[in-house]
């Protein structure tokens, strides 16, 4: 909720979302540390006074709003600004919330209740509440309520929580006055916990937290960019915590260690061999393996939980592991890895915990020596086939090779170290496969995702995750001809042809560069400006070894790096005759660029007869309803051209179907476009207008249009 509040001020950088996640994990760690110190150094009476004072102080921050120490920066290095702003705005409320759960559990453990000897079952209840909130927000609250209404409900909810905390405090105070409870509270804790055991807690909490983010990123960027796919791994993560701290722990662990590796090894084979299966099957394999690994790690944590006297310290190490996993996957990995390597590395680490060490841990020649040699032979066989691309069915041979390696790894089923080393060998083999892939010209990664340039026949293709963002025919006679969504015969080419006289000396702004295809519509008399949030995209488009569009058609056109909405605010009003908005694709729709306030900003930057052109080709969202409702609310005219049919020759030449929408102040400003049969007026709609206060991607999915009506 609060991240959505920040977006119009800071822009749509994924770094905003990632930083919010990391901030929450860090504040969770701070809240648990607060409880650890409070329980260690304060008497029950002091604990009551201090914590009740903290939850009351939160009232000064309600309703939640931005407390910024300075204006939001326009560049992409705004992580520090986000962290400081979140700390000033949410630090105290979130600290009170994160500290309340473990502190109430510790207070419950000091009562005379019959279950007070093992209060960890309340951790399952706490995560059940988190799961309910997770599922309710995107599917119930966000589609129906704006940010201000959500904030009001949150304030009321906190007031109810405040009353309940006071009620729990009263119960604890009454129980703490009983002799039995006083003796339990003042009794010395058991022997100090060894550092090795704490490190094990840290690692077992690190693995699921890191895998949750890595699996989400992999599924959404490599398999299929499905809307709201991040909900599934996070929900499964919470479910594993609920199950782990519920009854039946020993039987569950036995089943997990018997069958878990059988589900994990197929995932390792798929990742290492680069196997491509149907999207539903791939998602099932990834999520199943993630669920079983997380359930195993969390069950091991539950089985190793200390006596209730050490409860705050136990939760502190769990929070530290979760924060470390979030920092590694969300912040560190994009900076040090070009690909999603952290996913496979954490799978290797997880393999250590999938089997219980045998009681007789004596060395075994077969398992400790023949296994590595067998995997080494399989690796050598794979590499030999990979370096001979003329060999038929290389993909099938790779799959067979890795499957044999997985069967060999099963020999080490009951030896954690040998099994983990086997998985590591398979991962290393997969890395070598990626390194020897011949048609990969460029790979880079940052907070905005993974960027890949591939060579297929005469074409160079630019992918952001699995979404095509442009291609070019690199044969000399075919270079600098716009392809994919930007062809001369497509909607964009039609618009430039129909508006040629009016655009002869135009000033044109392009939001979203891609491979730079649109720039080859430029004429010498025109003035163009590029707005691009991702510096890697600008670097790729200007690299002549990858694409020729920018270098051949618009090498002197400047690029303004930064979020387009924030950057455009600095541009003079009435400075553009045409704004091309090409920032909407696949599952990622930068909502702050498609609200009524955003369209009002774009319109202010247009000349009196200027037009807006939106590229809305998309696999999941029907953005014509969004833009249609906005144009209606602003009294603008709206026309669309959704190209649906391509010929075989079109496909061979590199053309893709594309959807475009144009907005203007009046039909007269669109001129010949309104008379062309390929363009039709946007139909009237009662779709709820997206604003900076209200938006919901769920309502833009066609099957749930009724929610947004």
pLDDT at 36 over 50: yes
Residue boundaries of the structural domains of the chain: 1-187, 190-331, 365-438, 449-708
pLDDT tens per residue across span 445-469:
877 778 899 998 899 999 887 788 8
Whether 368 has a pLDDT exceeding 60, the answer reads no
pLDDT band at residue 402 using 50, 70 and 90 as cut-offs: confident
Most confidently modeled range among 10-19, 341-350, 403-412: 341-350
CA distance 215 to 200: 22
pLDDT for residue 110 is more than 60: yes
Q: Helix axis angle, 394-411 relative to 249-273, nearest 10°?
A: 150
Is 486:479 a contact under the CB 8 Å cutoff?
no
Which whole number is the average pLDDT over 307-325?
92
Mean pLDDT throughout 261-277?
A: 81
Higher pLDDT pick, 197 / 82: 197
DSSP state of 295: H
708 compared with 98, residue with greater pLDDT: 98
**Is pLDDT at 336 greater than 70 in this prediction?**
yes
Phi first, then psi: give them for residue 677, nearest 5 degrees.
-65, -20
Cβ atoms of 641 and 491 within 8 Å: the answer is yes
Share of the chain above pLDDT 70, in %: 86
Model confidence band, residue 706 (pLDDT cutoffs 50, 70, 90) = very low
* Six-digit token string for 280: 């539903």
Res 541: pLDDT = 94
Interval 367-394 mean pLDDT? 58
pLDDT at 708: 41
Distance CA 395, CA 540 (A): 29
Residue 79 predicted with pLDDT over 90: no
pLDDT (average), residues 537-566: 91
Q: Which of 150-164, 275-289, 381-395, 486-500 has the lowest mean pLDDT?
A: 381-395
Read off the pLDDT band of 707 (50, 70, 90): very low
Q: Where do we find the tokens 């009740």?
A: 52
26 Cβ contact partners less than 8 Å away, ≥ 6 residues apart: 323
Q: What is the pLDDT of residue 701?
A: 84
| pLDDT of 709 strictly over 50 | no
**Whole-angstrom distance, CA of residue 328 vs CA of residue 321:** 10
Give buried/exposed letters for 541-571 (b at 16+ CB in 10 A, else e). Answer: bbeeebbbbbbebbeebebbbbbbbbbbeeb
User: Is 590's pLDDT higher than 90?
Assistant: no
What is the mean pLDDT of the segment spanning 97-108? 92
Q: What is the pLDDT of residue 385?
A: 59
Q: Assess whether pLDDT exceeds 80 at residue 357.
A: no
- pLDDT grade for 400, boundaries at 50, 70 and 90: confident
Q: Quote the pLDDT of residue 363.
A: 55
Instruction: Quote the pLDDT of residue 633.
Output: 95
- Among 11, 39, 355, 360, which residue's Cα sits nearest to residue 172? 39
Whole-number Å distance between alpha carbons of 547 and 319: 46
User: Residues 152-180: what's their mean pLDDT?
Assistant: 85
Give the mean model confidence (pLDDT) for residues 195-210.
Answer: 95
- Of the pLDDT bands very low, low, confident and very high (cuts 50, 70, 90), residue 52 is very high
Mean pLDDT of 55-78: 77
Of the given ranges (200-214, 421-435, 539-553), which has the lowest mean pLDDT? 421-435
CB under 8 Å to 616, separation ≥6 — which residues?
584, 623, 624, 627, 659, 660, 661
CB count within 10 Å of CB 456 equals 10
Mean pLDDT of all residues in 159-182: 79
Confidence category of residue 247, pLDDT binned at 50, 70, 90: confident
Check residue 69 and give its pLDDT: 73
364: pLDDT strictly greater than 60:
no
Using 50, 70 and 90 to split pLDDT, how confident is the model at 101? very high
Q: Say which CATH superfamily domain 449-708 falls into.
A: Vaccinia Virus protein VP39 (3.40.50.150)
Confidence of residue 380 (pLDDT cuts 50, 70, 90): low
Question: Higher pLDDT residue, 579 or 650?
Answer: 579
pLDDT at residue 25, as a whole number: 87
Mean pLDDT, all residues of the chain: 85
The pLDDT of residue 376:
61
Whether 647 has a pLDDT exceeding 90, the answer reads no
Q: What DSSP character marks residue 188?
A: P
Measure the CA–CA gap between 306 and 690, rounded to whole angstroms.
50
Range in 11-20, 252-261, 280-289, 495-504 the model is least confident about: 11-20
Find the mean pLDDT for residues 102-126: 89
Region 329-335 average pLDDT: 85
Mean pLDDT (whole number) for 462-485: 90
Question: Binning pLDDT at 50, 70 and 90, where does residue 366 land?
Answer: low
pLDDT tens digit sequence for 410-433: 766 666 777 777 788 788 777 776
pLDDT for 703 beyond 70: no
pLDDT at residue 28 tops 80: yes
């Amino acid at each position: 909720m609060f991240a959505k509040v920040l977006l119009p001020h800071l822009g749509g950088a994924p770094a905003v979302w990632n930083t919010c996640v990391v901030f929450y994990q860090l504040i969770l760690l701070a809240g648990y540390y607060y409880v650890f110190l409070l329980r260690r150094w304060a008497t029950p009476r002091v604990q009551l006074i201090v914590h009740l004072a903290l939850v009351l102080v939160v009232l000064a921050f309600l309703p939640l709003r931005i407390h910024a120490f300075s204006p939001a920066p326009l560049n992409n290095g705004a992580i520090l600004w986000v962290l400081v702003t979140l700390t000033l705005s949410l630090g105290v409320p979130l600290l009170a919330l994160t500290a309340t759960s473990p502190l109430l559990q510790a207070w419950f453990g000091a009562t005379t209740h019959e279950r007070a000897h093992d209060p960890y079952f309340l951790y399952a209840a706490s995560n059940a509440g988190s799961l309910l909130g997770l599922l309710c927000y995107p599917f119930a609250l966000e589609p129906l309520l704006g940010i201000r209404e959500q904030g009001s409900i949150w304030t009321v909810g906190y007031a109810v929580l405040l009353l309940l905390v006071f009620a729990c405090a009263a119960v604890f105070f009454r129980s703490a006055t009983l002799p039995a409870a006083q003796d339990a509270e003042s009794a010395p804790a058991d022997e100090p916990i060894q550092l090795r055991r704490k490190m094990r807690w840290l690692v077992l909490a690190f693995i699921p937290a890191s895998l949750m983010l890595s699996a989400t990123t992999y599924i959404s960027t490599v398999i299929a960019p499905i809307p709201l796919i991040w909900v599934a791994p996070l929900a499964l993560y919470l479910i594993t915590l609920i199950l782990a701290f519920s009854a039946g722990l020993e039987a569950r662990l036995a089943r997990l260690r018997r069958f878990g590796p059988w589900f994990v090894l197929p995932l390792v084979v798929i990742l290492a061999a680069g196997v491509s299966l149907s999207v539903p099957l791939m998602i099932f394999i990834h999520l199943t393996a993630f669920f079983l690994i997380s359930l195993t790690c969390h069950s091991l944590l539950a089985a190793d939980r200390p006596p209730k006297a050490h409860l705050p310290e136990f939760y502190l190490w769990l929070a530290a592991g979760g924060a470390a996993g979030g920092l590694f996957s969300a912040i560190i990995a994009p900076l040090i890895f070009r690909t999603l390597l952290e996913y496979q590395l954490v799978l290797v680490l997880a393999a250590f915990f999938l089997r219980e060490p045998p009681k007789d841990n004596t060395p075994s020649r077969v398992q400790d020596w023949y296994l590595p040699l067998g995997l080494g032979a399989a690796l050598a066989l794979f590499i030999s086939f990979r370096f001979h691309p003329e060999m038929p069915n290389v993909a099938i041979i790779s799959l067979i090779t890795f499957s044999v390696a997985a069967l060999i790894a099963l020999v080490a089923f009951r030896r954690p170290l040998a099994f983990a080393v086997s998985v590591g060998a398979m991962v290393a083999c997969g890395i070598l496969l990626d390194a020897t892939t011949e048609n990969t010209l460029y790979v880079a990664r940052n907070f905005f995702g993974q960027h890949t340039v591939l060579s297929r026949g005469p074409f160079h293709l630019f992918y952001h995750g699995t979404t095509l963002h442009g291609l070019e025919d690199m044969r000399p006679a075919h270079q600098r001809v716009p392809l994919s969504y930007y062809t001369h015969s497509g909607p964009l080419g039609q618009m430039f042809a129909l508006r040629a006289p009016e655009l002869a000396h135009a000033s044109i702004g392009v939001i979203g560069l891609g491979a730079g295809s649109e720039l080859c519509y430029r004429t010498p008399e025109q003035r163009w400006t590029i707005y691009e949030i991702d510096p890697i995209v600008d670097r790729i488009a200007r690299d002549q070894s990858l694409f020729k569009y920018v270098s051949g058609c618009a090498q002197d056109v400047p690029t303004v790096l930064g979020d387009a909405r924030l950057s455009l605010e600095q541009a003079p009003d009435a400075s553009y005759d045409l704004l091309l908005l090409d920032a909407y694709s696949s599952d990622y729709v930068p909502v702050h660029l498609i609200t009524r306030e955003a369209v009002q900003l774009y319109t202010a930057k247009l000349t009196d007869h200027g037009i807006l052109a939106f590229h809305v080709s998309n696999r999941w969202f029907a953005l014509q309803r969004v833009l249609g409702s906005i144009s209606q609310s602003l009294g603008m005219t709206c026309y669309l051209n959704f190209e649906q049919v391509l010929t075989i020759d079109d496909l061979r030449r590199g053309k893709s179907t594309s959807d475009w929408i144009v907005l203007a102040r009046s039909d007269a400003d669109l001129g010949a476009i309104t008379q062309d049969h390929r363009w039709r007026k946007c139909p009237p709609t009662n779709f709820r207008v997206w604003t900076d206060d209200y938006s919901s991607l769920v309502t833009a999915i066609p099957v749930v249009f009724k929610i947004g009506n």
